[in-house]
Amino acid sequence: MKILYLHGLGSSGESGTAQGLTELGYDVISPTYRPEFEKASLDNLVQKESPDLIIGTSMGGYYALKLAEYKSVNAIAINPCFNPKQQLKLPAINWKTGELINFTQEMLEAFAIPEPKRNGKVLVVTGINDDLINPNQQIEYCRQFNLPSLITDWGHRVGDIGRLQKIIEDFAYRRSK
């Protein structure tokens, strides 16, 4: 299975989740990108690579949901930052370089809340112990858009790569029926 993994704000394509997915045997494309600027290049990457599944965490989850909304791709969004205008904690820091990530109000206003359709192509995974994006807001977002969701005991990051593998397998099986 070819997976496009989209990291969160301030992370990189070499994140632990990307490495874990690769170690599990998935064909993982995990670009390092700047989530505050990259919508067009992610569109092009999806077009070029044709992944079977997009997995995104946090800000990467936002893009996974947006791509599912208008590109008709399969996506798992883990603790998605579905409303960056309200949910981004600023100033943000690039974890790899230590540099500040600067957002202008104009940039924040450009982030529209994703509205993917319930078509079996999207799953939202919420870590009930997430300390960055309120889990109750994530649960309400799923209710509002009638999206399938799964609650885990994770924090903001993937807490168990083996559990993520099971989630991927269950999601793929459900889509194939």
Q: What is the pLDDT of residue 140?
A: 96
Inter-residue contact 110 to 138 (CB < 8 Å): no
- Rounded to 5 degrees, what are φ and ψ at 116? -65, 150
Q: Note the pLDDT tens digit of each residue in 29-82.
A: 999 877 665 667 788 888 899 999 999 999 999 999 998 888 878 999 999 999
H/E run at residue 122: strand 122-127
Q: Among candidates 123, 108, 42, which has minimal Cα distance to 78?
A: 123
Q: In the chain, what is the straight-line distance between the N-terminal and C-terminal CA atoms, in Å?
A: 17
Q: Note the pLDDT tens digit of each residue in 71-114.
A: 878 999 999 999 988 887 677 777 677 788 777 778 788 888 99
Q: What is the pLDDT of residue 85?
A: 82
**In the predicted model, what is the mean pLDDT of residues 116-140?**
89
Query: What residue ranges define each of the domains in the chain, with the CATH number in brackets?
Result: 2-176 (3.40.50.1820)
Q: What's the predicted TM-score (pTM) here?
A: 0.90
Inter-residue contact 84 to 108 (CB < 8 Å): yes
Mean pLDDT for the chain overall = 88
